């Protein structure tokens, strides 16, 4: 086979301040591609079972892919993996922006970070060189300020900064990692891990351009995307952002409301992307080389919630968690909450669902104003939502109580509060309704990183499946609101595909089948064009399945069993109101689908990958 | 998805002389493609468990595919399935020629034949119409004669005839089905099943031409093949036929000799395709629209073994089974044996290995001239080999003893003779040496139709794997003569691919990865071009895996267990002589690889597909 890809991986030991460069062979890249494939690989190799997620033994893997930086839409993504302080298993989170392409231009495919620095530092990577610099003066500062300061001291406005905010420094368990002050590797607390290592930021700058095996083919593919953007589903995100989905979720009865008690929210229109476009939208932002421009930049200069455009604007996940899930219908307040999350480095989803849970507990009398320091955590209280977001980010007052995450907080309050906690493996649910998009219940429960909206196609509940889905051999559309064997198959196939997107380091909006810009077959074309490999969709999906199995094997080693793969109690309760009134998941359908899923994956009844499955995937090195 | 394929399936009930036409939906074709996918589908639906393979309850499925008749190399293939009188499980055999394309032009994708005619009949299919005609006058005649007669009585020299010879009429268990008087659906006794139904032939003629969704793309692919033929491995078959492999097999120590006791044969050169080219080759024949022209036509007009070119010429499998396996080094005698097999409708592989086994038994004193009617079954006795072939075809004399196949004959002679029988599930091994190409031991043992050289890539023992193999994500070449987990994975992946070739109804020489004309990715392109589907390699391999699981499920229903998936004793004995002297399979490596294989396939420890695996493959209808 052609020796298609030459890349470099930067290894940093913060304890000893040692920096080394590894140059893996081509076959390594072809086996793992990048992203969570590479991240999980190093985690499995280097993190001892039982390691403290916030201790120096944990490894933080910040990974790009073989495709990052190629001149085409949807490739500038960074994946961060580490043992998660939220789930205690494999952590995983993705983000876009300009940082990924800039990091690649600086010469590296991944940054594998071990140990703990004695004092706050940041990593400065430029044109194949890397150094650790003091970050004491940046500690405690919010992201926008830090980015400005680093660019000033490095005297280069094009430096891109991936960093934690004060929440990460203080190890809020669901602290995120931010780049461009508004792109977040949001889930599973990767910011807390970075904070525990005293690593404030990774600043990158480079002039390298990626090797492209077949520039003509790539150009053709890029041109195709330009020609077809306006007819694609994702063009809706260009127009109104991901929050443009709000009215559709409402119409389907799947907009998480009142801490997931209902799928409809009276105030849905006010928080929609459509209203955002008409009111506070300042501009549409983009990631490197992407024509979609789905990112929002909002600005509010008047009223109680003024918002700096530096911090971007809220996504669908944010308006639905800080918004409808808390019954908050004030878009300005949501935008302020979003700004605070980006400033302090908090995952908006976890923050929103934590607050919704706190409101639920407040209603049930499990939390009182005595606990909250006077905050009235009533449904729809926008002011309280904003205030609490800030308190969590600063780890102050009642924010301290919520800062260690759902599992710990709920346990303190007892079983009634635990029954109100909508999370899988401690990871709060994103803004999709498993009682409606039924396969998400299974997926959230079995997914190694807990409830995650980025790692599966949501539901095959189309009247006609898209051509892109049919490329996977999924030819039979299924009704909404039910679970069956065909949906288990759909879950597994699309989960593997989404894993492969996160190994290839590409954006699900541009390359995920339901958004219908590019399809899976075209992603294969892109990989062939960039690397020169005789790559196929078979191989791509096997890369994804390999990644899923590696993550699962990591969790198995940490002692996870089928008991950890379960549904939050709320999903077994009937939804209230709207077209999905009364819809609920049953424990029988869940358990039956889970056992089918395990068997289909080649996992045993505890959800552990079998030796044969690992060997099939070329992971014999993982077999103990 | 586009409604890509409209086809027709002809159903014939011979008991009632009823003929009906079915028009399955597009999704049926996309799920099964054709060939053994369609054949096995109907067998599973219609043959009751425990049915007598030679009784009217058995169904004979003669299947083409969505691709048959498209103007490109390697697509004119016919697959025949029925419950096998050889294995008592799913029978399966493939052949090329002009019959498949002509049958498609006559309007059908498959012929599903049930029941038993009262008197000999043949089926005449022309331009969408079908009728049963009396065949009493053809009964007892050899294939060349029958073909001539049918063409005469239908007054059309372009009629193509698929038929049984006298061996099939007499239900010799390994009787084959012949078209063009020299192309054989050879293995697993499909001719005996056809004979048991009193169906002498299926004659076809039509003027239809296949729908091609994208003629330009197909033309481009055809042109590509033309441009790359001379640099491909398969071009060697153009030059010297498949028997051109003899010297390579000899050099690798893998040429089956002396009933598989040795991998080297002193007389190898005399039986090679290279010598054939220089001596008796009259011309190179082809299948419809194929540029490879791998088929041999030999003519011998003098000496004891005169051969009519009508019956073609011997393949590698034939020279190695009638030849080296019997220590026969007389190419004229082998060509005569080949002619007799094609005249009488006998599988050359089974016939050759049966005779080699008889010679082995003769040497061990288990068979004497008293049994053979005076035939001296000594090693290398060419005359005896030819005579015995004829006797089997006529089911006369000692031929009668061998006519019911290996299992029955060996059982009659007792354990010592059984230990000399080189067969899996009663199906004699083709001419490849599992002690050398190690994965074949596993494959032959677990394969639903027994030992079959058409359903797996032989061994990943290249110094560098071909680009076409790497498309499957198989990136690590393995040493020859050993078995390991990587080879189990290689076995499964390539088995699924080869199943998909037999569902797509394409030739392994043109589309199989190791022959390096077209690769798997190009087969996907071809399917897309012909059907207009958004097809992918993922989907293609899943079609193959589906087919493998359907065949396995059929066997499971017939009561097969892991006890049926075993190695012939001889493979555990060391090879004698040559570079592979001393090489043997061990029972430990076999059993370990089999259990890995089962688990990897999603089968239980008895080799039965699990419910979850069937559901994954969209085969919920098969779950009882």
A264-293 pLDDT tens trace: 999 999 999 999 999 999 999 999 999 999
The CA dihedral of B575, B577, B583, B586, to the nearest 10 degrees, is 20
From A465, A472, A485, residue closest to B538, measured CB to CB: A472
Closest to A616 (Cβ–Cβ): which among B470, B489, B610?
B489
**Predicted confidence band at A144 (pLDDT cuts at 50, 70, 90)?**
very high
CA distance A198 to chain B (A): 40
Tell me which residues of chain B, numbers 543 to 582, contact chain A at a CB-CB cutoff of 8 Å: 543
Distance CA A382, CA A333 (A): 6
- Chain B interface, best mutation among A468, A483, A491, A616, by max B CB count within 10 A: A616
Q: What is the reported pLDDT for A452?
A: 93
pLDDT (0 to 100) of residue B3: 54
Q: How sure is the predictor about A464, in pLDDT bands with cuts at 50, 70 and 90?
A: low
The two tokens of residue A301 are: 């200069």
Distance CA B619, CA B624 (A): 11
Identify each DSSP E strand in A140-275 by its residue range. 160-163, 177-179, 183-185, 199-205
* Nearest residue to B349 via CA among B413, B275, B423: B423
CB contact under 8 A, A616 and B492: yes
Q: Could you say which of A471, A539, A611 has the minimum Cβ distance to residue B473? A: A539
Say if the Cβ atoms of A1 and B485 lie within 8 Å: no
Q: What is the ipTM of this complex?
A: 0.94
**Model pLDDT, residue B158:** 97
What's the confidence (pLDDT) of residue A461? 65
Query: A98 with A287: CB under 8 angstroms?
Result: yes
Q: What is the pLDDT of residue B461?
A: 65
The confidence score (pLDDT) of residue A486 equals 92
Of A295, A234, A284, nearest to A510 by C-alpha is: A234
* Beta bridge pairs of residue B424: B427
Residue A253 tokens read as 């009865």
**Contacts by B412-415, CB closer than 8 A, 24 or more apart:** B413/B361, B413/B366, B413/B367, B414/B366
Q: Do A534 and B610 touch (CB under 8 A)?
A: no
**Cβ pair B536:A471 closer than 8 A:** yes
Q: Contacts of residue A475 in chain B, CB cutoff 8 Å? A: 1, 27, 30-31, 618
Please list the residues that pair with A112 across neighbouring strands.
A11, A61
| Per-residue pLDDT tens over the stretch A232-260 | 999 999 999 999 999 999 999 999 999 99
| Backbone φ and ψ of A49, nearest 5° | -55, 140
B414 touches chain A (CB under 8 A): no
The answer to whether residue B537 neighbours chain A at the CB level (below 8 Å) is yes
Enumerate the residues of chain B whose CB falls inside 8 A of the CB of residue A596: 611-612, 615
Q: Write out chain A residues lying below 8 Å of B521, CB-based.
A: 534, 536
CA–CA min distance B541, chain A (Å): 8
Contact indicator for B151, B98 with CB cutoff of 8 Å:
no
Nearest CA in chain B to A524: B536
H runs (alpha helix) in B209-330: 215-228, 235-240, 246-251, 273-278, 316-318
Interface contact flag, A536 B537, Cβ < 8 Å: yes
Nearest CA to A486 out of B551, B614, B29 is that of B614
Low-confidence ranges of chain B (pLDDT < 70): 1-3, 461-465
Please identify among residues 2-21 of chain A the ones whose CB lies closer than 8 Å to any CB of chain B: 2
Residue A622 contacts B where some CB pair is shorter than 8 Å: no
Q: Do residue A536 and residue B542 have CB atoms under 8 angstroms apart?
A: no
Name the average pLDDT for chain B. Answer: 96
Beta carbons within 8 Å of A326's beta carbon, 6+ residues apart: A259, A352, A355, A356, A359, A379, A380, A381, A385
| Residue B1: predicted pLDDT | 38
Chain B touched by A473 (CB under 8 Å):
yes
pLDDT grade for A462, boundaries at 50, 70 and 90: low
CB contact under 8 A, B613 and A600: yes
Q: What does the pLDDT read at residue A3?
A: 53
- Give the closest of A519, A600, A615 to B485, CB-based: A615
Closest residue to B615, CB basis, from A468, A536, A600: A600
Chain A residues within an 8 Å CB radius of B464: 1
Other C-beta atoms lying within 10 Å of the C-beta of residue B293: 18
User: For A521, which residue in chain B has the nearest alpha carbon?
Assistant: B536
pLDDT tens string B175-222:
999 999 999 999 999 999 999 999 999 999 999 999 999 999 999 999
Task: Calculate ∠ Cα A566-A570-A575, nearest 5°.
Answer: 130
Has residue A2 got a pLDDT over 50? no
B203 has a chain A CB within 8 A of its CB: no
- From chain A, the residues in CB contact with B538 under 8 A are 471-473, 520, 536-538, 540-541
- CA-wise closest residue to A398 among A427, A381, A375: A375
Residue A528: closest CA among chain B residues belongs to which residue?
A: B471
Q: Residue B459's pLDDT is what?
A: 77
Hey, are the CB atoms on B536 and A542 less than 8 Å from each other? no
Cα nearest neighbour of B475 on chain A: A27
Q: Select from B524, B540, B612 the Cβ nearest to the Cβ of A599.
A: B612
Which chain A residues touch B524 with a CB distance below 8 Å?
A: 536
Kindly determine whether residue B534 and residue A468, on different chains, have CB atoms separated by under 8 Å: yes
User: What is the H or E stretch that residue B161 is in?
Assistant: strand B160-163
Give, as one character, the DSSP assignment of residue A438.
T
pLDDT surpassing 50 at residue A217: yes
**Cβ under 8 Å to A: B residues 22-61:** 27, 30-31
Which of B467, B492, B611 shows the shortest C-beta gap to A1? Answer: B467
d(CA A544, CA B315): 42
pLDDT at A4: 75
Check CB contact under 8 Å for B600 and A612.
Answer: yes
Closest B-chain CA to A476: B27
B486 to chain A, closest Cα gap in Å:
7
Contact, B419 vs B364, CB < 8 A?
no
- What is residue A57's predicted lDDT score, i.e. its pLDDT? 98
Residue B335 near residue B316, CB atoms below 8 Å = no
B418 Cβ partners below 8 Å, 6+ apart?
B410, B411, B569
Cα-to-chain-centroid distance, residue B224: 28
Distance from C-alpha of B91 to C-alpha of B114, rounded to nearest angstrom = 15
Q: Which of B533, B602, B620 comes nearest A485 by C-beta?
A: B620
Residue of B nearest to A497 (CA): B538
Q: Distance (Å, rounded) from C-alpha B551 to C-alpha B502?
A: 13
Inter-chain residue contact A536 with B539, CB threshold 8 Å? no
In the numeric block, which tokens belong to residue A531? 């690397």
- What integer pLDDT is reported at residue B463 of this predicted model? 55
- Would the CB atoms of A533 and B470 count as touching at under 8 Å? yes
Q: Could B536 and A533 be called an inter-chain contact, meaning their C-beta atoms sit closer than 8 Å?
A: no
Between positions 257 and 296 of B, the ones with CB within 8 A of A are none
Q: Provide the whole-model pTM.
A: 0.96
From the list B475, B519, B596, the residue facing A612 with the nearest CB is B596
Q: Provide, as residue numbers in chain B, all residues whose Cβ is less than 8 Å from the Cβ of A540.
A: 538
List domains and CATH numbers for chain A.
9-205 (3.60.9.10), 233-420 (1.10.569.10), 438-623 (1.10.599.10)
Is A486–B620 a contact, with Cβ atoms under 8 angstroms apart? yes
Q: For residue B598, which residues of chain A lie inside 8 Å, CB to CB?
A: 612
């Amino acid at each position: 086979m052609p020796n298609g890809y030459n890349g470099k991986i930067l290894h940093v030991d913060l304890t000893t301040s040692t920096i080394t460069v590894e140059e893996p062979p081509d076959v390594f890249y072809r086996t793992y591609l990048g992203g969570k494939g590479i991240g999980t690989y190093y985690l499995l190799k280097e993190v001892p079972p039982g390691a403290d997620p916030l201790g120096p033994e944990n490894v933080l893997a910040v990974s790009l892919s073989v495709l990052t930086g190629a001149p085409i839409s949807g490739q500038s993504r960074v994946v961060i993996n580490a043992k998660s302080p939220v789930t205690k298993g494999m952590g995983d989170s993705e983000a876009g922006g300009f940082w990924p392409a800039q990091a690649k231009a600086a010469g590296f495919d991944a940054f594998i970070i071990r140990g703990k620095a004695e004092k706050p530092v940041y990593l400065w990577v430029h044109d194949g060189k890397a150094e650790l610099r003091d970050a004491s003066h940046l500690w405690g500062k919010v992201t926008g300020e830090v980015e400005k300061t680093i660019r000033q001291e490095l005297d280069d406005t094009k430096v891109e900064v991936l960093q934690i905010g004060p929440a990460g420094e203080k190890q809020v368990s669901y602290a995120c990692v931010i780049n461009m002050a508004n792109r977040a590797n949001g889930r599973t607390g990767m910011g807390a891990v970075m904070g525990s290592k005293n690593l404030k930021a990774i600043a990158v700058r480079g002039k390298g351009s990626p090797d492209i095996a077949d520039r003509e083919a790539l150009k053709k593919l890029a041109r195709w995307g330009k020609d077809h953007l306006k007819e694609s589903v994702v063009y809706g995100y260009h127009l109104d952002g991901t929050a443009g989905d709000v009215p559709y979720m409402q119409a389907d009865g799947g907009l998480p409301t009142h801490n997931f008690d209902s799928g409809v929210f009276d105030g849905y229109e006010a928080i929609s992307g459509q209203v955002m476009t008409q009111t506070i939208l300042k501009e549409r932002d983009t990631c490197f080389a992407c024509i979609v421009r789905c990112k929002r930049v909002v600005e509010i200069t008047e009223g109680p919630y003024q918002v700096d455009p530096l911090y971007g604007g809220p996504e669908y996940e944010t308006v639905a968690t800080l918004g409808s899930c808390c019954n908050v219908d004030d878009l300005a307040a949501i935008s302020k909450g979003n700004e605070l999350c980006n400033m302090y480095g908090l995952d908006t989803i976890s923050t929103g669902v934590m607050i919704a849970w706190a409101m639920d507990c407040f209603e049930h009398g499990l939390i009182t104003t005595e606990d909250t320091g006077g905050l009235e955590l009533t449904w729809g209280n926008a002011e309280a939502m904003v205030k609490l977001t800030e308190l969590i980010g600063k780890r102050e007052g009642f924010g301290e109580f919520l800062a260690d995450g759902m599992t710990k907080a709920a346990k303190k309050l007892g079983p009634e509060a635990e029954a109100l906690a909508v999370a899988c493996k401690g990871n709060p649910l994103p803004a999709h309704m498993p009682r409606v998009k039924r396969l998400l219940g299974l997926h959230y429960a079995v997914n190694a990183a807990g409830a995650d909206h980025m790692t599966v196609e949501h539901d095959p509940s189309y009247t006609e499946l898209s051509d892109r889905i049919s490329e996977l051999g999924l030819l039979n559309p299924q009704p909404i609101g039910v679970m069956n064997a065909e949906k288990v198959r759909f879950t597994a196939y699309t989960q593997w595909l989404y894993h492969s997107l996160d190994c290839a380091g590409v954006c699900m909006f541009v390359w995920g089948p339901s958004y219908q810009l590019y399809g899976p077959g075209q992603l294969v074309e892109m990989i062939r064009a960039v690397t020169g490999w005789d790559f196929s969709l078979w191989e791509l999906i096997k890369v994804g399945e390999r990644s899923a199995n590696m993550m699962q094997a990591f969790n198995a080693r940490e002692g996870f069993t089928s008991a950890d793969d379960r549904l939050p109690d709320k999903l077994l309760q009937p939804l209230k109101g709207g077209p999905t009134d009364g819809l609920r998941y049953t424990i029988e359908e869940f358990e039956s689908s889970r056992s089918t899923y395990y068997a289909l994956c080649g996992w045993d009844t505890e959800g552990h990958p079998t030796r044969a499955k690992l060997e099939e995937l070329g992971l014999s090195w993982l077999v103990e």
